[in-house]
Amino acid sequence: MPLLGNKQIILSNFKHPQRQGEKEINRSWFEANGWDCIDLPDATVFEGAGDALFDSERRLWLGGGPRSDQTTLPSLACHIKTPIFRLTLADPRFYHLDTCFCPLPDGYALYLPESFDLSSQELLVRHFGNKLIALTPDEGQQFCANAVCIGRTIVMNQTTPRLTGLLETRGFSVQETLLSEFMKSGGSAKCLTLNLSIG
């Protein structure tokens, strides 16, 4: 997970053995490209940018659930000097925060309400207010929140007329990019990227 405003990255501690080897591959690439790598304690399961998303106000939202521990916050707080909020994922189909929540520019965000526990839903509503755009269950299943935002263009696998209309009235454009083959592995546009220009 890249940190705001500098070339530091917190390396993931993946939950499943199939992915744990990625940590040292990632370390090699980042160090070769001038990044400082930060290790969390080995006992802390944290899957990086999938469960840690900065919004346009530079607040950090952490997802805890199927893949990342609820106990990650203290380990991260040592390295991050920005407000941190923890959200609890309540549906195992949405295994990372970025599968059901997508911060957008100007204080907007997409989210799938039922993928969070009630207190997390209330926290999101309290902080985003009327700029929080709720997805329908069908839009959630299409991983519309697992999108990449470049300026005011939102790239996603598939949208709906309803969602496109809501976004366009708020000054965004939506670019559908067919990712159906990658969707079979359980991810969409955001899962194919790592934003290194944060901050």
Q: Which residue has the tokens 């670019």?
A: 175
Res. 198 pLDDT band, cuts 50 70 90: low
Name the residues annotated as catalytic: 96, 191
Res. 1 pLDDT band, cuts 50 70 90: low
Residue range of the domain that includes 72? 47-192
Judge whether 121 lies within some domain.
yes
DSSP assignment letter at 106: G
CATH number, residue 173? 3.75.10.10
Judge whether 136 lies within some domain.
yes
Judge whether 134 lies within some domain.
yes
Asked whether the predicted pLDDT for residue 138 surpasses 70, the reply is yes
Please tell me the predicted confidence (pLDDT) of residue 199: 52
Judge whether 42 lies within some domain.
no
Over the chain, what is the mean pLDDT?
A: 91
Res. 72 pLDDT band, cuts 50 70 90: confident
Taking alpha carbons only, the member of 135, 100, 136, 138 closest to residue 116 is 100
Taking alpha carbons only, the member of 148, 167, 159, 40 closest to residue 98 is 148
Identify whether the C-beta of residue 145 lies closer than 8 Å to the C-beta of residue 110: yes
Could you give phi then psi for residue 171, rounded to 5 degrees?
90, 15
The residue ranking higher by pLDDT, 161 or 82, is 161
Q: Mean pLDDT over residues 11-34, rounded? A: 91
Tens digit of pLDDT for each residue in 81-130? 899 999 999 999 999 999 999 999 999 999 999 999 999 999 999 999 99
Judge whether 38 lies within some domain.
no
Judge whether 184 lies within some domain.
yes
Judge whether 39 lies within some domain.
no
Q: Is 48 left (phi over 0), alpha (psi -120 to 50) or beta?
A: left
Q: How many domains, in total, are found in the chain? A: 1
Judge whether 117 lies within some domain.
yes
pTM, two decimals, is 0.92
